[in-house]
């Protein structure tokens, strides 16, 4: 038995339990690989203060084999570090510090390399360049899963140097190595067994959502079919750099505290407490020591377990200020609005960023964006897939094609699309003119076919999209627990609200509490749920205001249509009554009786003088009384004023354009709201 006992290396453990890292199936493996590489690139760029630009390329090597390469224009990596970063699990710069970043443990990219090695036998390749004149370092790295150590396979274990000149370029071409010419940067290539599929949980979706949460980053993406997509940065400034903080005493567990006391090099308890933790002043340190019955001069290393436990209890009994929150950097309301507008063809956008809060001593911040309108599922259709579908369709008319091919359109929706795209309703799909095809594509991508959809939720943690385990995530749970009917949205109790709603929620923290190592769902800490709820309530309330106002405008519009229909009849009838000798006589009599005041300059002052109507004036009065057009215009003026609400239009920042509008509500002038003009 004792002989069978043996140390297990982490890499061995994860090779057997790959699902823990997000490699449960071939499809997810592809996504996780891309994700780990992109997350690393983004972190590297931001830490170096470089606006991220990232190239993602997926090549299909065989039916179930793909080569993923991700390059950034980041700072590059010191050659010595490369094998360790890419060939050793749990090696990284992010685990031991408390600073907001995408990666945390240092498992991701090496695990991806290990997965590739396991499934294809091909090692991972890294190209890296740290400055203009430096050569590109080329490494082929393999992880030895038994010992969790890297093995460099090229250049006798030292890698190769490719000079940064034409000679080097020729060398790259010769070795068939892809490299985007950048001043500095890193490119990692992994070949793995995987499956490429569009739609939910796909690489495409991940990149799109990442672009949404990182408006300062530019992405270039070439998918396995050779299609190129670019997400241009919409912000030209890096988000403020997150500040690294010491742990807060409240967030430390007893075991961790024990470990810290053993490892510290501080000579006294007071020094240990004030310098290893944030928010601990000498006074607070003294108070803790006093409560624990420990001298503040005691050497932390000499304390036994019981004493440390006393210190731990003393910490919870002492009032310590909340950690400072400049260590978390939100995306920001205006960036969320801009990002959502890029992706969702909605009518109403709103964002809310909560002030920072603390859970278990970890500062965090919650942001929520909401878009209303648009139909995400059909709207994501691409030119190619539409072309393909049209070619394959056996529907006789385009209307039939639309109804049969897409979920949730229905006959009404199809008619709406056809009408809006101005295509011939009975045209057979293959016989559409190029103009009609373009119009259809554009309409499908932009037309709002609301109602009957359920909310799409984009979840983010530290700007990384969470694409799986939606129901286990605190964000989804909080959305479902809320009563959205309060805001005029349909909802079955305990479900996601129904309607053309897209919610984006971002959780930013120095330490995100994931439910598993694959970082797919946030744990539902009460403090986190509370902040989420407050943010959702803020955007929900504004959505409610918008929906109410839209309903009112709609009603006014249909009311006006009713009035408009009858006004000409009324004008005709009134004009008819005013016709004929008898009516003319009355009109003339009354026009004559009406006193006219005329201003007359007399002795430098204007004096009003009454005078009788002239024959011309009387004739005009008769003529006007009998003109149904004249009467119509008069009635129209009243009708327009009466239904003025229907005329209200909004400019880009959601302000009413009409300066005379009497009604103002909270949405006006709110910078966290964007309303698309319905013109």
Partner 1 sequence: MAKSTKKATRSTTNASLFDDVNKPVVLSPQDERTLEKIYNLAANITAQAERDDEPVFAIPARSLGNVSFNEEKRVLQMGSKTTNRELFNLSQAKSFMQTTLVASGAKRLLEMGKTTSIRGLYYMLKHDIKPTKEPTFHDQGECDPVIEDCEVLLEALREELHLFADKRGDMVGNIVIVDSGDEIDCSKMGSGGYAIPSIVEPSVIQFKECRADFVLHVEKNTVWQRFNEDKFWKKHNCILTHGNGQPPRGVRRLLNRLHNELRLPIYCLLDNDPWGYYIYSVVKQGSINLAYESERMATPDAKFIGLRSRDFERCGLSEGVKISLSDVDRKRAKQIAEYPWFVHKKDWQREIDTMLKNGFKLEVEALVSRSISYMTEEYVPRLLREGDFLD
Give the footprint of partner 1 on residues 93-132 (CB under 8 A).
none
Q: Which is nearer to partner 1, 416 or 559 (CB)?
A: 559
Among 559, 617, 647, 670, interactor with partner 1 by CB under 8 A: 559
Strands 149-152 and 160-162, how do they pair? unpaired
**By rule CB under 8 A, what string of x and - marks binding of each residue 512-551 to partner 1?**
----------------------------------------
CB of 412 to partner 1, least distance (A): 21
Stretch that binds partner 1, among 11-19, 157-165, 309-317, 566-574 (CB under 8 A): 566-574
**By rule CB under 8 A, what string of x and - marks binding of each residue 642-671 to partner 1?**
xx----------------------------
User: What DSSP designation does 656 have?
Assistant: B
CB of 590 to partner 1, least distance (A): 8
Q: Which is nearer to partner 1, 498 or 634 (CB)?
A: 634
Q: Which is nearer to partner 1, 1 or 581 (CB)?
A: 581
Among 544, 568, 588, 648, interactor with partner 1 by CB under 8 A: 568
Which of 528, 539, 525, 464 is closest to 497 using CA atoms?
A: 539
Stretch that binds partner 1, among 154-162, 412-420, 509-517, 568-576 (CB under 8 A): 568-576
Among 404, 486, 586, 597, interactor with partner 1 by CB under 8 A: 586
**CA terminus-to-terminus distance, the chain:** 79
Q: Is 568 left (phi over 0), alpha (psi -120 to 50) or beta?
A: alpha
CB of 346 to partner 1, least distance (A): 30
Q: Which is nearer to partner 1, 555 or 671 (CB)?
A: 555
Among 411, 562, 597, 599, interactor with partner 1 by CB under 8 A: 562
Find where tokens 């408390």 sit.
Answer: 98
CB-based contacts of 247, cutoff 8 Å, min separation 6? 98, 276, 277, 278, 361
Q: Which is nearer to partner 1, 176 or 581 (CB)?
A: 581
User: What DSSP designation does 490 have?
Assistant: B
Among 319, 493, 565, 602, interactor with partner 1 by CB under 8 A: 565
CB of 579 to partner 1, least distance (A): 8
CB of 642 to partner 1, least distance (A): 5
Among 563, 592, 647, 648, interactor with partner 1 by CB under 8 A: 563
CB-based contacts of 141, cutoff 8 Å, min separation 6? 82, 83, 86, 87, 113, 123, 124, 125, 126, 150, 151, 152, 153
Helix ranges restricted to H, 578-658: 581-593, 615-625, 628-642
CB-based contacts of 192, cutoff 8 Å, min separation 6? 29, 30, 33, 65, 66, 68, 112, 115, 116, 119, 120
**Structural contact between residues 396 and 360, judged by C-beta atoms closer than 8 angstroms:** no
Which of 86, 109, 343, 348 is closest to 214 using CA atoms?
A: 343
CB of 567 to partner 1, least distance (A): 8
**Structural contact between residues 266 and 272, judged by C-beta atoms closer than 8 angstroms:** yes
Give the footprint of partner 1 on residues 223-242 (CB under 8 A).
none
CB of 570 to partner 1, least distance (A): 5
CB of 625 to partner 1, least distance (A): 7
CB of 419 to partner 1, least distance (A): 19
b/e per residue 255-293 (b: at least 16 CB within 10 A): eebbebbeebebebbbbbbbebbbbbeeebbebbbebbe
- Report d(CA 81, CA 201) in Å as an integer: 32
**34: enclosing H helix or E strand:** helix 26-47
Residue 573 sits in the site that holds partner 1 (CB under 8 A): yes
Which of 172, 187, 218, 181 is closest to 71 using CA atoms?
A: 187
Q: Which is nearer to partner 1, 321 or 580 (CB)?
A: 580
Among 146, 435, 442, 590, interactor with partner 1 by CB under 8 A: 590
CB of 678 to partner 1, least distance (A): 22
CB of 199 to partner 1, least distance (A): 46
- Report d(CA 606, CA 621) in Å as an integer: 27
Stretch that binds partner 1, among 14-22, 320-328, 558-566, 644-652 (CB under 8 A): 558-566
CA 633 from chain center: how many Å? Answer: 49
CB of 541 to partner 1, least distance (A): 30
Which of 139, 228, 227 is closest to 189 using CA atoms?
A: 139
Among 569, 598, 663, 665, interactor with partner 1 by CB under 8 A: 569
Among 145, 214, 478, 578, interactor with partner 1 by CB under 8 A: 578
Q: How many CA atoms lie within 13 A of 360 on its CB side?
A: 13
**82: enclosing H helix or E strand:** helix 82-87
Give the footprint of partner 1 on residues 608-647 (CB under 8 A).
625, 631, 634-635, 637-639, 641-643
CB of 663 to partner 1, least distance (A): 18
Please give the C-alpha separations between residue 507 and each of 38, 209, 450, 510, in angstroms, as whole numbers.
Answer: 19, 14, 28, 10
Q: How many residues bind partner 1 (CB under 8 A)?
A: 30
Stretch that binds partner 1, among 80-88, 196-204, 471-479, 557-565 (CB under 8 A): 557-565
Q: Which is nearer to partner 1, 189 or 625 (CB)?
A: 625
Provide the binding-site residues for partner 1, judged by CB under 8 A.
559, 562-563, 565-566, 568-570, 572-574, 576-578, 580-583, 586, 590, 625, 631, 634-635, 637-639, 641-643
């Amino acid at each position: 038995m004792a002989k069978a006992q043996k140390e297990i290396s982490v890499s061995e453990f994860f090779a057997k339990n790959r699902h823990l890292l997000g490699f449960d199936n071939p499809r997810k493996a592809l996504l996780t690989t891309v994700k780990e590489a992109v997350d690393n690139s983004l972190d590297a760029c931001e830490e170096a203060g470089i606006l991220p630009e990232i190239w993602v390329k997926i090549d299909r090597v065989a039916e179930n084999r793909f080569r993923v390469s991700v390059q950034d224009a980041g700072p590059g990596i010191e050659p010595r570090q490369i094998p360790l970063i890419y060939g050793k699990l749990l090696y990284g710069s992010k685990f031991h510090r408390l600073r907001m970043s995408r990666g945390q443990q240092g498992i991701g990219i090496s695990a991806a390399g290990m997965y590739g090695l396991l499934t294809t036998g091909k090692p991972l390749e890294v190209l890296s360049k740290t400055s203009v004149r430096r050569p590109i370092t080329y490494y082929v790295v393999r992880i030895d899963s038994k010992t969790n150590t890297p093995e460099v396979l090229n250049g006798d274990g030292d890698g190769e140097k490719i000079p940064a000149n034409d000679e080097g370029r020729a060398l790259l071409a010769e070795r068939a190595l892809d490299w985007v010419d950048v001043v500095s940067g890193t490119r990692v290539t992994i070949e793995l067994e995987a499956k490429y599929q569009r739609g939910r949980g796909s690489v495409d979706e991940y990149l799109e959502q990442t672009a949404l949460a990182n408006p300062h980053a530019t992405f270039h993406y070439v998918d396995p079919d050779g299609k190129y997509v670019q997400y241009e940065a919409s912000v030209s400034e890096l988000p403020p750099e997150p500040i690294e903080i010491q742990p807060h005493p409240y967030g430390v567990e007893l075991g961790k505290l024990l470990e810290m006391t053993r490892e510290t090099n501080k000579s006294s308890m007071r020094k240990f407490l004030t310098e290893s933790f944030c928010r601990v002043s000498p006074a607070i340190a003294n108070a803790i020591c006093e409560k624990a019955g420990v001298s503040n001069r005691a050497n932390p290393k000499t304390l036994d377990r019981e004493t440390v436990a006393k210190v731990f209890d003393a910490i919870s009994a002492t009032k310590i200020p909340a950690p400072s929150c400049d260590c978390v950097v939100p995306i920001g309301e205006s960036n969320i609005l801009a990002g959502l507008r890029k992706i969702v063809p909605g009518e109403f956008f709103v964002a809310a960023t909560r002030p920072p809060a603390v859970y278990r001593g970890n500062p965090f911040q919650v942001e929520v964006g909401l878009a209303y309108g648009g139909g995400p599922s059909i709207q994501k259709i691409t030119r190619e897939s539409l072309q393909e579908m049209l070619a394959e369709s056996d529907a006789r008319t385009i209307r039939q094609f639309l109804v049969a091919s897409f979920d949730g359109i229905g006959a009404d929706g199809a008619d709406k699309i056809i009408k809006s795209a101005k295509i011939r309703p009975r045209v057979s799909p293959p016989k559409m003119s190029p103009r009609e095809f373009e119009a259809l594509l554009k309409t499908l991508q932009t037309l709002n076919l609301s109602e009957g959809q359920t909310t799409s939720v984009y979840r983010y943690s530290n700007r990384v999209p969470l694409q799986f385990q939606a129901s286990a995530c605190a964000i989804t749970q909080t959305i479902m627990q809320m009563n959205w009917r309060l805001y005029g949205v349909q909802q079955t109790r305990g479900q996601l609200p129904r309607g053309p709603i897209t919610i984006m929620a971002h959780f930013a923290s120095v330490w995100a509490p994931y439910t598993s190592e694959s970082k797919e769902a946030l744990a539902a800490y009460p403090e986190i749920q509370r902040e989420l709820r407050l943010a959702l309530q803020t955007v929900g309330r504004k959505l409610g205001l918008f929906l109410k106002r839209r309903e009112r405008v709609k009603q006014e519009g249909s009311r006006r249509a009713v009035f408009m229909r009858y006004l000409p009849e009324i004008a005709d009838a009134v004009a008819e009554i005013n016709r004929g000798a008898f009516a003319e006589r009355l009109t003339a009599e009354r026009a004559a009786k009406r006193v006219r005041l005329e201003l007359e300059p007399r002795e430098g002052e204007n004096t009003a003088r009454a005078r009788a109507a002239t024959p011309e004036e009387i004739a005009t009065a008769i003529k006007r009384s009998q003109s149904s057009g004249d009467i119509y215009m008069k009635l129209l003026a009243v009708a327009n004023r009466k239904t003025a609400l229907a005329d209200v239009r909004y400019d880009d920042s959601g302000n009413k354009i009409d300066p005379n509008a009497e009604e103002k509500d909270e949405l006006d002038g709110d910078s966290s709201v964007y309303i698309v003009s319905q013109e």
